[in-house]
Amino acid sequence: YLCYYSLHRRYGIYESLAHMRNDQLKMIVSIPSGVMGLFLIILYFYWRTFCSLYYSTIYRLRNKNKIPIDVEVLLGSYGGHALQRYKYSDIKMMTYSFKDELGKGGYGSVFKGTRGEDGRVVAIKVLNESKGNGEDFINEVVTIGRTNHINVVSLLGYCNEGKKRALVYEFMPN
């Protein structure tokens, strides 16, 4: 061992191998760490920009002259497809005065109905009277209105007249 050590020590082979391994280890650790750090920074700024745009629009719409939040403006800000806004009387007519109840839940009842403009069968979720300014309802309309997925029922329209609120979905039979 002593000869091996002195031979390698004399020619510097041992030190250069150890130094090379150390440099490779630093490179193997630092490159992925740097890439991951850069990715996290980009992701943070993207998230921060999106959230700030979303919440500033809601804040501006809610607090500017204390007007109620306009769903159409909010949907237009985020590229949602055009949703039909219905009057409560239209909802009542589509459901034949809420005759055919499909189900009931914690947030309201769902009725089967027919749209007057094209005769399409729809499911209408009539929400229980809620307290407050309807921010939860508007968030739901904005979120569902932007969703387009094969496994999610499409939102076709909504009603927002005072405390009377309803969501009009495409009907999916069992």
Q: Which residue, among 162, 152, 160, 171, has the nearest Cα to 75 in the 3D structure?
A: 160
Phi, psi at 153, each rounded to 5°: -70, 135
Any binding-site annotation on 26?
no
Strand pairing report for 84-86 and 108-114? unpaired
Contact partners, residue 146, CB within 8 Å, separation at least 6: 75, 78, 79, 80, 81
Q: In sequence order, what E strands does 23-162 have? A: 84-86, 101-104, 108-114, 121-127, 155-161
The annotation places the binding site at 125
Q: Which residues define the annotated binding site for ATP?
A: 125
